[in-house]
Structure 1
Amino acid sequence: MRSIATCYSEHAVRVSDSYCSGPLNRSYLSPKLIQSIRNAVSLTYKTRLSSQKHLLITVTWCDKLICQGFWINVSEKMSPEFRNSSNSHQLCKIKGTKEFESCNSGIEVYWDLSNAKFEAGPEPISAFYIVVLIDSTICLILGDMEDDPQVKKVTVGLPIVKFSLVYQCENFSGQKTEFSTKAKFCDSGLAHDILVKFGEEDEGPKNPIFSVFIDNKRVIKVMRLQWNFRGNQVTFVDGVLVDVMWDVYGWFAQPSPSAAAVFLFRTRSGLDSRLWLEEKDLAEKNHDKLEFSLLISASKNPG
């Protein structure tokens, strides 16, 4: 996120803003595009033990060609480089248990993906479970198998603490300029359908537009991306202020297959003095004040 945040003034307060560095003189959209697919999803949950220790639990699902199972990371600070961290563990079996230590705590992970069902991407949508115990406390339960005998056996008699999703990162690859996912912007809200897409203005493919749809309703429309290839606007979801930032310069200006576009959605309370926080700020921010962020990163590389 640092490379995006530095494009803007630290004290920006305008509700809607665009960054302009001159036009990009090239044709942007092609009628023959490779379908974009979701190949990795990372979900970070915050939790607090009875000892008042704050921890972040990150579960990352990858394309099956990369990893048959998932990665798990337990840490005290947010870190985008979870795979390079000594706190990260790759769990490749479809069913099993794992014990390790992290942040001076004992971690136990129980999971079963034997009958998991998938839709569009590497993250299962039903018929699975993941249970994470930290110091013999239930800190995370994912899936829809709470009544499974093994889940009951693992969790019976153990205390449970509240956990909530604070960061969702989705990676796409391919050339088609439509990226869809689901996200909850607050604990009390519903899961919303999010669609990010490029289109064409009346002038043709040299003048693309950028749109964000939430539950099939367009909430953001940016014209003339050849000028507005970086920018930010604001919308409201479930009564929560959501800042939307985009950086599509690499996607349009770089011919290499690794050229990327990045879209960041972040909830913000009225007390926040800045629209965007850099990675170091996010890592140092009080866990109780962490807002929800959704990061969509799209690469043209089909692999």
Structure 2
Amino acid sequence: MSMRDFPSCFGENGVQVADFSSSSSNRTAQNLVTCVYQCRLRGRTCSVTVTWSKNLMGQGLSVGIDDTNQCLCKVDIKPWLFSKRKGSKSLEAYYSKIDVYWDLSSAKFGSGPEPLEGFYVGVVSNRQMILLLGDMRKEAFKKTGVTPVASNAIFVAKREHIFGKKTFSTKAQFCDSGQLHDLMIECDTSGVNEPCLVIRIDTKPVMQVKRLQWKFRGNHTILVDGLAVEVLWDVHNWLFGTSLGNAVFMFKTSLSAEKMWASQPVLDPHTMHLSWSQRFRDSQSQCLGFSLILYAWKNE
């Protein structure tokens, strides 16, 4: 299985994120974070997909409303344009008017594309807040004019591009309202006879894969905050790629993962024919847990 065959894990719906090549010229475009929230709209379940991007021009934001079969509507916002740092847009989905409100005029950003504080993004339908992101909750309810009641949205998935040489770090949570952890992936593949993969949670090693040349794909189950977290990895491009490529890691909490806790921890990578995208969709549709997908790019 080549990296091009590796499933996107987010299906074909919602925000369409480009299929990036491994050339260094695309590195700025790869700085994306995509979050999926399960929401209720007109009595039915839908997904709201929020993608934050960062390139040489600045920050970008895209909000999509989907059902299981198609992207119903999508709005692209370019906050680096002065007039677009706050505002609203109206969309139609499920025969309803949906309003997307945002205020990024005071947003503070770190090294990644997601704002850290000083912002809100709200999705409103039928005078109800179906999704609200950011710390400016009071300002969001005042602007939208809806009753200040918490939305019933559930954070079900996140996809992120991370960069490094030997170590790759990010902040991660493993369920909708779970604790935020420091997640670090360590792997030195340059000039090393026997590369080893180590994953740490809050500096504590929770997983180690030796003889990586033979185990460049596989899965293992770890325990975080009392939850069984299934870790799936594919580092083929790091070891055997002819050009700069990315490894892919999925961290998934679900009932199926908890049932796997007593099972064999590592699968033979040469016989691993699991449909990751199908498993992702199943867990998402049944609201069984949370999925985090990381694309890890080695810097030159």
TM range (shorter): 0.7 to 0.9
With over 3 angstroms needed to count, the CA separation of the structure-2 counterparts of 1:221 and 1:66, relative to structure 1, is farther
Tell me the TM-score normalised to structure 1 length.
0.75
Residue ranges of structure 2 left out of the alignment (5+ in a row):
8-26, 79-83, 264-273
- More contact order relative to length (CA 8 Å, sep ≥ 6): 1
Amino acid at match of 1:221: Q
Tell me how far apart the structure 1 counterparts of residues 185 and 59 of structure 2 sit (CA, whole Å): 28
Offset at 1:55? 1.0
Give the CA deviation at 1:300: 4.2
Equivalent in the alignment of 1:246 = 233
Structure 1 residues 266 and 36 mapped into 2: Cα distance closer, same or farther (>3 Å)?
Answer: farther
Q: Is the 8 A contact 1:138 1:155 kept in 2?
A: no
Which residue identity lines up with residue 41 of structure 1 in the other structure?
V
Q: Which amino acid aligns with 2:35?
A: L
Secondary structure in 2 aligned to 1:196? strand
Amino acid at match of 2:246: A
Contact (CA 8 Å) 1:48, 1:54: kept in 2 or not? yes
The structure in which a higher percent of residues are helix is: 2
Deviation at 1:225, TM superposition (A): 1.1
Shift, 1:122, TM fit? 0.7
Please give the alpha-carbon distance, in whole angstroms, between the structure 1 residues aligned to 2:286 and 2:125: 19
1:212-235 CA-partner distances (Å, limit 9, x unpaired): 111111100111211111111110
Tell whether the 8 Å contact from 2:129 to 2:146 is kept in structure 1 after alignment: no
Aligned residues: 262
Write the distance in 1 (CA, Å) between the matches of 2:293 and 2:124.
Answer: 27
Gaps of 5+ in 1: 6-34, 80-84
The equivalences for 1:86-101 within 5 A come to 87-92=73-78, 93-101=84-92
TM norm structure 2? 0.76
The reply to whether residue 143 of structure 1 matches residue 150 of structure 2 is no
Amino acid at match of 1:135: N
Residue number in structure 1 paired with 2:96: 105
2:267 match: none
1:162 corresponds to: 152
Which residue number corresponds to residue 224 of structure 1?
211
State the 1:38 CA deviation: 7.6
Superposed, which structure 2 residues align to 1:23-172 within 5 Å?
Answer: 39-49=31-41, 51-65=42-56, 68-77=59-68, 85=71, 87-92=73-78, 93-148=84-139, 151-157=141-147, 160-172=150-162
Say which of 141, 150, 172 aligns to 1:183.
Answer: 172
Q: RMSD of aligned C-alpha atoms?
A: 3.2
1:266 aligns with 2:252: yes
The Cα of 1:206 is off from its aligned counterpart by 2.1
3-state secondary structure, aligned to 1:147: helix
